[in-house]
Structure 1
Amino acid sequence: MVKNTWRRRKMQSKFQAVIFDIDHTLLDTEQFIFQAYVHTLKTYNLPAITEADLKLFMGRSLETTYEEIAPQLNTVELSETHRVFQAKNLHLAIPFPNTLHTLQKIKEHKLKVAAVTTRSIRNSEETLSVTGIMPFIDTVISKEHVSPQELKPHPRPILLALENLKTAPSSAITIGDTIYDIEAGRRAGTKTIGVTYGSSGKHISEAKPDFIVDDIADILSIVLT
């Protein structure tokens, strides 16, 4: 189901580029992320967290999260332990139902596609590759491409993706599951789609995206219009 929250004016032409968040938007990475935290916290004899606790940190960088969880420890080492676990457990990241079909349809219509994330470039490209998504992606923007202060919700990652795609913000749309994704897209000048199947659930409406969808396939009726 698609909910149109954009009442300012009708779209007069289809979009030229689609910018996706990766975690909880293209990929179901709940266990990929959670089990990495479990492993890292156990390795450093830190208190465990629950999956409910983890939702509070969704959309933030690893370093920022570990600074809050364990400010007394070296967050770079914690983050590296986390990423090493993920590199050995790529099978925990899986596409959402309809992800590959949706991307195929978007590319058939000659739209450009970017993936923008707060994860590392290597970690991101590995998960996109093993899940079969990478062939549909024209550019990946990760934490290495911007300063720590320019991670989402800062618009810089979205603007870099648009620069790589040679597309104006007015011809692009940003899709994500957190307020950080929606705010970054809005501040960059793109239209936005919030997904309810990700970490924010129905609360994504609080970010006031232009559109809200319950299934990734629902974006086709928006981006191909």
Structure 2
Amino acid sequence: MENKPESVLFDLDGTLIDTAPDFHWVINQLLQEEHRDIVSYDFLRKYVSNGARAMVEASFGYSEGETEFKRLHQRMLEIYLSHLDVDSKLFPGLDNCLIWLEKHNIAWGVVTNKPELYTTPVMQGLNLFERADSIICPDHVTERKPHPESLHLACKQIGCSAENSVYVGDHIRDIEAGRRAGMTTVAATYGYLGENEDPSTWLADHYISSATELQPLLQSLYNI
């Protein structure tokens, strides 16, 4: 392989940043407003990577087409906007990894299906916004992941090739997008895996069960 990758790109929720604690608080706040029983952290964590709609559906039992669903979904987003980065944080080990990437002049960025309205404040709140070389949200593209458009746009912004870039994600859509873009893919199995999900079926190039494993993996792959 090359001496070093041109870029390392991350999915956001469940890969770069552990946002589940804030989502758990938000969902339980909404459940309490609706005089419902709260849900456990372990229950909700399984749905975070699939977004707000999935969390509302799982927690309230309404499907997306039902009348109450739209109201609850909108209210959840309102609550979340005021509670974006209270308890959210980088997964352990990734702060050192980002510093290491920057030290070696390896670009890094975020490619997420999370809208810019929520992504930007979270990144700013953790002092990551100015450090990232590219942050791509669904607002910036026509097609969301698993389509590779957002990954190609990130590479264009950075000025690097997809073929010598790495994409790290915790969902099959991330790995599919990375593969379709021609990137080296890393499946983050420490992320928000759903029930009965088997990451081995994602066909990622590499797997890490802890965020602390990413830097050693990159060092070994690229002989850095």
Same fold (TM over 0.5): yes
Partner of 2:82: 88
What are structure 1's unaligned runs of at least 5 residues? 1-10
Residue of structure 1 equivalent to 2:138: 143
Query: What is the correspondence of 1:35-114 to structure 2 with a 5 Å cutoff?
Result: 35-43=25-33, 51=41, 54=44, 57-63=47-53, 69-73=63-67, 77-89=71-83, 90-114=85-109
> Does structure 2 conserve the Cα–Cα contact (< 8 Å) formed by 1:197 and 1:214?
yes
Shift of 1:79: 4.0
Q: Distance in 1 between matches of 2:3 and 2:31?
A: 49
Is residue 102–residue 216 contact of structure 1 (8 Å, CA) maintained in 2?
Answer: no
Q: Could you tell me how far 1:18 is from its partner in structure 2?
A: 0.7
Uncovered stretches (5+) of structure 2, i.e. residues with no partner: none
1:133 to 102, 121, 128: 128
CA contact (8 A) 1:98 1:217 kept: yes
2:206 corresponds to 1:211? yes
Q: Does 1:161 align with 2:190?
A: no
Which sits farther off after the overlay, 126-135 or 103-112?
126-135
Q: Distance in 2 between matches of 1:69 and 1:145?
A: 28
Tell whether the 8 Å contact from 1:121 to 1:143 is kept in structure 2 after alignment. yes
The 10-residue stretch of structure 1 (138-147 or 108-117) with the greater mean CA deviation from structure 2: 138-147
Cα displacement string for residues 117-136 of structure 1 (whole angstroms, at most 9, x for unaligned residues): 12121311211222233233
Percent identity (aligned): 23
Q: 1:221 to 1:120 in 2, by over 3 A?
A: same
Match of 2:163 in 1: 170
Structure 2 Cα separation of the partners of residues 44 and 162 of structure 1:
44
Is the alpha carbon distance of 1:49 and 1:170 closer, same or farther for their aligned partners in structure 2, counting shifts above 3 Å?
same
87-96 or 13-22, which deviates more: 87-96
Residue 15 (str. 1) matches residue 9 (str. 2): no
| Structure 1 residue 181 displacement after superposition | 1.1
Report if the CA contact (8 A) 1:139-1:161 is conserved: yes
The answer to which structure, 1 or 2, has the higher relative contact order (CA under 8 A, 6+ apart) is 1
Residue 191 of structure 1, CA deviation: 0.7
Task: Kindly indicate whether the alpha-carbon contact (under 8 Å) linking 2:53 and 2:64 is maintained by their aligned counterparts in 1.
Answer: no
- How many Å apart are 1:61 and its aligned residue? 4.1
1:127-154: CA deviation from partner (whole Å, max 9, x where unpaired): 122223323311111121234xx22222
| 1-structure distance, mates of 2:68, 2:115 | 18
Map 1:119-130 onto structure 2 (within 5 A): 119-130=114-125
Rate the CA distance shift 1:152–1:40 in 2: closer, same or farther, 3 A.
Answer: farther
- CA–CA distance in structure 2, aligned partners of residues 177 and 223 of structure 1: 17
CA contact (8 A) 1:153 1:183 kept: yes
